[in-house]
Structure 1
Amino acid sequence: MTPETMDCNELVELVTEYLEHALDPAVRARFEAHLSECDGCENYVEQFRTTIQTLGRVTADRLDPDFRQRLLDTFRGWQPDQR
């Protein structure tokens, strides 16, 4: 891996900033280059985006506490495919 490339772990750390359009252009370019080559990370970002959109429509009082905990556990335990 060269200094210009991004690995899956770095992408996971930056996904929120990416979706909020808060990455500087050089980092965003590295992020998108990795996405174009890594199906696992592409799926992760799309699932993250979909989850944010879906949960944005659900109020906290409507979420079953057990479901909320399972959802949090799933995100905490997720590991991207390593390249």
Structure 2
Amino acid sequence: MNCHEAIDHIGDALEGSLAAHVRAGFEDHMQECAACRTYLEQLRLTRRALRHLPLQRETSRRRPELIARFKGAFPKSR
């Protein structure tokens, strides 16, 4: 497995749903590739930090305005 393939599977690995036929190659790659190990650990830490953020119960009053501005920034192609 190369880095691009490992990154494609990293979400499944973090969720514990990595397919059995992919797992060995993924784990081998993680043992051999320091860059991918670092990326995996950064994602783990990010996910852990995000779990500690408070849930926002209310929708922003500016939501309709922001959506309109976003849509205006990307005109539909014809």
Q: Is the TM-score greater than 0.5? A: yes
Question: TM-score w.r.t. structure 2 length?
Answer: 0.66
Structure 2 gap ranges (5+): 57-78
> Cα RMSD over matched residues?
1.2
Paired residues, number: 56
Q: Which runs of 4+ in 1 moved over 4 A?
A: none
Q: What displacement does 1:25 show?
A: 1.8
Over alpha carbons, which structure has the higher Rg? 2
Structure 1: runs of 5 or more not aligned: 1-5, 62-83
- Is 1:23 the equivalent of 2:18? yes
Match of residue 74 from structure 2: none
Identity %, equivalent residues: 38
- The structure whose RCO (Cα within 8 Å, separation 6+) is larger is 1
Shift of 1:20: 0.8
1:7 to 2, 8, 15: 2
